[in-house]
Structure 1
Amino acid sequence: MISSPPAFWKDKLQASGLHFSLSVLVAALSALLVFVLWYPYPYREISGGRELFLLVVTVDVIMGPLITLAIFDRRKPWAELRRDLFVVVLLQLSALGYGLWTVAMARPVHMVFEIDRFRIVHAIDIPDELLSKTPEGITARPYTGPTLLGLRPFKDGQEEMDATFAALQGVNLGARPDLWQSFDASRQDVLRIAKPVGQLRQRFPDQSAAIDAALAGKGAAADAAQYLPLAGRKDFWTVMVDGRNGDILGFLPLDSF
């Protein structure tokens, strides 16, 4: 049996290592886009962005260099080797592009105050047929990170009934552009519904340290803090707000419904 010369495997490993390093760099740049812009904290936790991104990127980063390891051979004609490497990179970038598109479609776009709670609304949650009814000044599916919104009062009983039936069919009130209004217009409703953080401490005495940590550095706002439940894609969290003006103070991975 004739073994391959050491240089043969050295070239393969060097090519694969270079490909891996470049893949990690591209993945790091993609992570900045995803976790700084699309899924900032706490949305990466609530909306599952971290798991989805890591799945996409891990497969992409590992498979590309492994394929390069398998096909790289300096004994091939340069034109053939260049073509093979081009195809590998093209397939890898296409897979990464599709993965990022999937992550983008699932991205959180708004945190909406919805009657007695906050709700995370994702791009895919918003019905296409309602996009034309988005209020002026609001971007229905922003790419610049989630925004704060509220729900306007129902115009009449019929509109409330229609919206309720739609919610039963899976279209949450917070995902309806025709019901959105600015968060400033909903601040008084937030303050009316929110409960004192002291009640949260009484309900969850073992979470007092976590509550203190979430409010750390908030100064006088911490003394007036209130809370509301937050409905995410798969989990329920808690939002703490300033009891004086409704500003968002912090988040807790705590189901306070």
Structure 2
Amino acid sequence: MKFRFFCFTSHLLISFVIALLTIFVVFWVWYPSPLDKALGVADIFLLLLCIDVIIGPLLTLIVAKQGKKTLKMDLSIIGALQIAALSYGLYIVAQGRPVWLVYDNNRFEVVQAYEAVTNPQSSRGDFPLSLTGPIWGAVIEPVPATVARRDAFYQAAFLQKYELVANKSGSNAMPIEVLKRFNDADKVEQEASKYPTANSYIPMIGKQKPMVVFVDKTTGEVIAIVDLAPW
């Protein structure tokens, strides 16, 4: 029994360390807060991760028996299945990660990896499918007549760096006070107090939940993404 418990705790500890590293990559690199909420990744991924972390060690507890001839093979199979399940989960999450935050028509659109269109021959090269966090951009003006405006924001060929339109976007941004119409006033004040240089906002559209981007109205500089309803 001691041997089984040792195998179980060892496997659980290893799984826990891997889970922590995975959580760091997903929630601090791929989906920096609060984009995880905007895209609804947290609940599904954490559920899959918990199942993967728990089931593997439990299977080890069941099969572990000192002196068992097939123990190494059994543990190898369990480990391989656990790694395969985790890899598949990470692949799905990676496909949905936000790669571009694109300004267009007085709002930001969150573009996820699976829907982003890159074309090395026509792209400016500033919008790769980044694995280190989303890139801020804007739709070029004018959009070619052959391209529907609603299709431009997820195609790298029609994007430019956000800095090039920052002044324009800042001038069109709305006062933070407007947010009190759609959110609890105390919460708006609390969030605004965290960013003293922010004096206006631009809506951001996420698949799961819309949010706001605090900006400096004079320069259009992005200050922070905030979990508040824009309307």
What TM-score does the superposition give when structure 1 sets the normalisation length?
0.82
Q: How does 1:47-196 map to 2 (within 5 A)?
A: 47-77=39-69, 80-127=70-117, 130=119, 132-136=121-125, 138-156=126-144, 158-159=145-146, 162-164=147-149, 167=150, 172-196=151-175
Taking only aligned residues, the RMSD between alpha carbons, in angstroms, comes to 1.9
Partners of 1:218 and 1:116 in 2: CA distance: 21
- Structure 1 or 2, whichever has the larger Rg, is 1
Superposed displacement of residue 115, structure 1: 1.4
Aligned to 2:193: 216
Alpha-carbon contact 1:210-1:252 (below 8 Å) kept = no
Superposed displacement of residue 187, structure 1: 0.8
Aligned to 1:3: none
Alpha-carbon contact 2:37-2:209 (below 8 Å) kept = no
Partners of 2:229 and 2:169 in 1: CA distance: 18
Alpha-carbon contact 1:131-1:140 (below 8 Å) kept = no
Partners of 1:69 and 1:217 in 2: CA distance: 48
Give ranges in structure 2 of 5+ residues lacking alignment: none
Match for 2:11 among 13, 19, 34? Answer: 19
Partners of 2:148 and 2:143 in 1: CA distance: 11
Superposed displacement of residue 141, structure 1: 0.6
Alpha-carbon contact 1:148-1:183 (below 8 Å) kept = yes
Superposed displacement of residue 217, structure 1: 4.2
Letter in 1 for 2:164: A
Alpha-carbon contact 1:114-1:174 (below 8 Å) kept = yes
Partners of 2:190 and 2:9 in 1: CA distance: 42
Query: What is the number of residues matched between the two proteins?
Result: 231
Alpha-carbon contact 2:171-2:217 (below 8 Å) kept = no
Superposed displacement of residue 105, structure 1: 0.9
Superposed displacement of residue 132, structure 1: 4.2
Q: Deviations over 1:89-114 (max 9, x none)?
A: 11111211111111111111111111
**Quick check: 1:44 aligned with 2:29?**
no
Partners of 2:33 and 2:15 in 1: CA distance: 25
**Quick check: 1:226 aligned with 2:200?**
yes
Partners of 1:217 and 1:43 in 2: CA distance: 18
Give the 3 Å change call, closer, same or farther, for CA 59–131 of structure 1 in structure 2.
farther
Partners of 2:71 and 2:194 in 1: CA distance: 58
User: Percent identity of the aligned residues?
Assistant: 27
What TM-score does the superposition give when structure 2 sets the normalisation length?
0.91
Alpha-carbon contact 2:168-2:220 (below 8 Å) kept = no
